[in-house]
Structure 1
């Protein structure tokens, strides 16, 4: 039976993809070090988060998806060591769902791991992530709610650390709730992995950190262009289609490399994020959670450098990005056609004769 189960519940956009991109290719090395990544594959942890949150969409995820949580628990029960379950959508679970999940992992000792980020950075990053999933909501209208639905993962429900702690902290003793504060500006990329390993009790060099990647951001014009493309886009309704074509092919590979201006939401949204950060820090300071790092980095600074807002993007700017995209896509199609087109058959004897007669 597993001794301890570390359940990494998010938050979204706090380096979770980076950590998972290191852990999953190093799965066998982690197991040798005494840490199990249970389940048949990485997607089992996403599917488990849906099952825990009673999301009926699990039925559309294909054969075997509905049994993912059972597979994970069976693996945990059969391993003599520690285990890690990691997906950022767990954090949207209700208090009742959180308690049930912890109880279903008994008799293992469950530890919660929460990676964090300041609320303003979370708001802008999660808005971009929603665009990569075909959303069309302008930034001015984004983050205006606190949903009661555990299926809503791109909402303050999962982005507000204080709200997540309210639902999840009763599920385990405070000393078993581990908060990883943001790394200071200028820290090496590997700092997050090192802190994560410190909580898990493994050496950072157990896995190859070069496999990790950070989700880069689009500039303000590029983000607004993607939002407008989504408004006209039909199809691409499955998670795989969105992931392959919108997130990877269009956003990450063609819009992100352009760079572009960084941006802020509206002043009232900035102030809302500032208040949420202050409430979360006050809650942490009043607790006895295990905190790794400086929680003051969860506070939104009083003075912020000036940045654009997406509403300032002009039609001409969008048209310029769109034209560049058309040219890029045509070059992509040409290269792909040249790679996949079969070589031309050599001319037949009759064709060679005709060419000779024509003087070719």
Structure 2
């Protein structure tokens, strides 16, 4: 049996968490079909990817060893590997000298990616307003930036994670452009399973019979994003700069509490700006010109208006409601955690009696 590695490298907010959740929810069934998903869970692949990015060996070598020992197809899915430099690409590929490597770049239409990326970067501790974020992205877009100027941090960060032409070119120079597969995220209104079906076609297996995803990288609404942004500012003032408190700030406040109320507040909206449409057309042309393989349709990357509101127009009362809900949710979680370390009720009653 031939050895093959499907290496899924992003981009961010292009269904990566959905694909990863499906993979790990179905490890056993995939293995029954000859497809290995190495690692105990998604975090195993996170740690391995972080290791190879830093030039380390332990975690990455452990995962690579599992792939090497498997006679068949293996799949690693980690968007951290999308924007890496050629030296890292070569380091990754050197771990699999006997494998046919297929590099998968999932891609979503640019206009939908912008608000999704803003709220995600805010969840990761950033404090840019939406207006500043948009301005930075436009100013630093590939092919139009002033390379002699200091890059706006928002624009630099966005394009590092969303310049899929560069991803395809960098990886294609090492594996061959025909072994780079762009899988497009279906447009709004398409069946949710369609992205999984497209990914399975690259794996070489039927999409039928798999369990649904157990989790997703949940987004938050406009008001909640404003709350998190302001919390980040206040924590920065206290010297608690992200990633300090990541588990509580992102894990609890954002992903649990505020994500759960997404349906109760307006979404972040964004009409298609002329420069976005222009950039998307050039992006598709460049990808097609590289000779990459395509699963889906280039039309899926045509920008569409994102329904919702400009965050700057959200009523302060709506933001206050989100803030109060966030506070209550975080307190509830902390109370539950603290209650497990308290004395038993009988001990507490003795303490109360003795305090008189």
| TM-score relative to the length of structure 2 | 0.80
Q: Which has the larger radius of gyration?
A: 1
Quick one: structure 1 residues 3 and 336, their matched pair in 2 at CA, closer, same or farther if it must change by over 3 Å?
closer
Quick one: structure 1 residues 343 and 300, their matched pair in 2 at CA, closer, same or farther if it must change by over 3 Å?
same
CA distance in 2, matches of 1:284, 1:202: 26
Query: 2:234 matched to which residue of 1?
Result: 232
Per mean C-alpha deviation after superposition, the further-off stretch among 108-117 and 326-335 is: 326-335
Superposed, 1:1-360 pairs within 5 Å as 3-39=3-39, 41-54=41-54, 66-142=57-133, 143-144=136-137, 145=140, 154-205=157-208, 207-209=210-212, 211-233=213-235, 234=238, 241-242=245-246, 244-259=247-262, 260-264=265-269, 270-301=273-304, 304=305, 307-313=308-314, 315-330=316-331, 342-344=344-346
Deviation at 1:29, TM superposition (A): 2.3
CA distance in 2, matches of 1:111, 1:37: 15
Deviation at 1:78, TM superposition (A): 1.5
Per mean C-alpha deviation after superposition, the further-off stretch among 231-240 and 131-140 is: 231-240
What is the number of equivalent residue pairs in this alignment?
Answer: 332
Quick one: structure 1 residues 256 and 171, their matched pair in 2 at CA, closer, same or farther if it must change by over 3 Å?
same
Deviation at 1:86, TM superposition (A): 1.0
CA distance in 1, matches of 2:216, 2:250: 14
CA distance in 2, matches of 1:178, 1:296: 16
Deviation at 1:292, TM superposition (A): 1.1
Contact 2:8 2:79 in 1 (8 A): yes
Contact 1:157 1:163 in 2 (8 A): no
Contact 2:123 2:225 in 1 (8 A): no
Contact 2:221 2:266 in 1 (8 A): yes
Per mean C-alpha deviation after superposition, the further-off stretch among 182-191 and 88-97 is: 182-191
Quick one: structure 1 residues 329 and 246, their matched pair in 2 at CA, closer, same or farther if it must change by over 3 Å?
closer
Quick one: structure 1 residues 322 and 31, their matched pair in 2 at CA, closer, same or farther if it must change by over 3 Å?
same
CA distance in 1, matches of 2:71, 2:176: 23
CA distance in 2, matches of 1:12, 1:162: 14
Quick one: structure 1 residues 128 and 346, their matched pair in 2 at CA, closer, same or farther if it must change by over 3 Å?
closer
Deviation at 1:316, TM superposition (A): 4.3
Quick one: structure 1 residues 77 and 345, their matched pair in 2 at CA, closer, same or farther if it must change by over 3 Å?
closer
Deviation at 1:300, TM superposition (A): 1.4
Structure 2, unaligned runs of 5 or more: none
Contact 1:2 1:78 in 2 (8 A): no
RMSD over aligned Cα, in angstroms? 3.3
CA distance in 2, matches of 1:171, 1:180: 19
| TM-score relative to the length of structure 1 | 0.80
Structure 1, unaligned runs of 5 or more: 59-65, 352-360
Quick one: structure 1 residues 41 and 327, their matched pair in 2 at CA, closer, same or farther if it must change by over 3 Å?
closer
Deviation at 1:45, TM superposition (A): 1.9
Deviation at 1:238, TM superposition (A): 7.3
Per mean C-alpha deviation after superposition, the further-off stretch among 314-323 and 165-174 is: 314-323
CA distance in 1, matches of 2:332, 2:188: 38
